[in-house]
A and B are shown apart, each in its own frame.
Chain A
Amino acid sequence: MRLLTHNMLASNARGAVTGYPLKLQAVKWSTKEVEPNPYFLRGILPKLDWPALVAATHALGLPELLPEAPPTDAELSAEGAAEEEGSALRCLHRALLEIHIEEGTLVCPDTERCFPISRGVPNMLLHEDEVRN
């Protein structure tokens, strides 16, 4: 599971108010190399919940990876940003698309319901008694 997915998910179990953001408890994570695409990143940036993404990187023990404020469009469009190690674009790319949580748990902030992540696949399916009517 990439942090992009973490940024999109919430708990929808009965009793959850917003069910978001899910607390990330990673047991094992790895890095998967993905071709950076500045066009994709510029498009996805306004859709992200930035504080939740930053919190997720902190939960993984990477407090330096992302700044408190989201990068500007100019930073992402800067010439050579895709190649330059440590550029705002590369850091965003790494945080969003290259960190892959293999084993861990997503915890609902309202109900403490745990959604397990195993072999990279988060299991968001509810038990039958948790479905809201």
Chain B
Amino acid sequence: MSPVANHASPGIQGHIEIKNLYIQLGSGDQAFEAVQNVSVSIKPGEFVCLLGPSGCGKSTLLGALAGHLQPSDGSIHVDSLPLNGPHPERGLVFQQHTLFPWKTVMDNVAFGLKMKGILRAERHKRAGELLELVGLAGFEQHYPFQLSGGMQQRVEIARVLINHPKVMLMDEPFGALDAQTRMMMQQLLLDVWESIKTTIVFITHDIDEALFLADRILIMSPRPGRIIEQTVLEFVRPRKPELLTSDRFIQLKRHCLELLHTQSADFPLQRLTPLGVIS
């Protein structure tokens, strides 16, 4: 459908292998284990949702995958290579407000290409194609503050996609949007993903969202964060909103609710981010 699709490599790209991963956050007396003994294998092109209550360490795990947090033990390999800091092959999308406010929509999206030293005309051509893909043609010269929250997240997605990432890491990317916009964005993300087929690791605490989007959901327990269950979702694609009210969907949702309920901490946990603890 678009030139982007041609770049998606066939088969083997974006294979994530996490082995016995531990991540410690904080220092001194404040130190705690945010992620404990997590081992997961994610197939190339798989859409995985990490589901868990606030502060359970799912964003911490994502931060380690992005290369912003250093594991205290264990290993992460992407396509058999160990991680070494952040890399454009592993695109990261935050919840909100991480577009560069001083750059236009066009220049935000083209940023990754600028970092590769690609000339302006070529960057803008490719950024324009991606903006079209996420439905933002005509907004190239706007600044982020002139866009609604949903539109800003589309720009975020386009900005990451321009690097043809093997892996897209998304930290509750639609968490700050209203319910209707969120549904629209989920649909958009699935459409985009169908055309580029990159591996996606998607963090959420919204059960509906996880069940609607993912090939497989991993459920995490709060502190220390461990994966307590995984479920493969065999709903057919492309997925339609009707899925949300199907029997199987509701049955799974009830199961997840029970799991999360029994696992939730008695006290509210401090929110964690892919960059560590918010102080």
Verify that A and B bind, or say they do not.
Answer: no
Interface residues of B (CB under 8 A from A): none
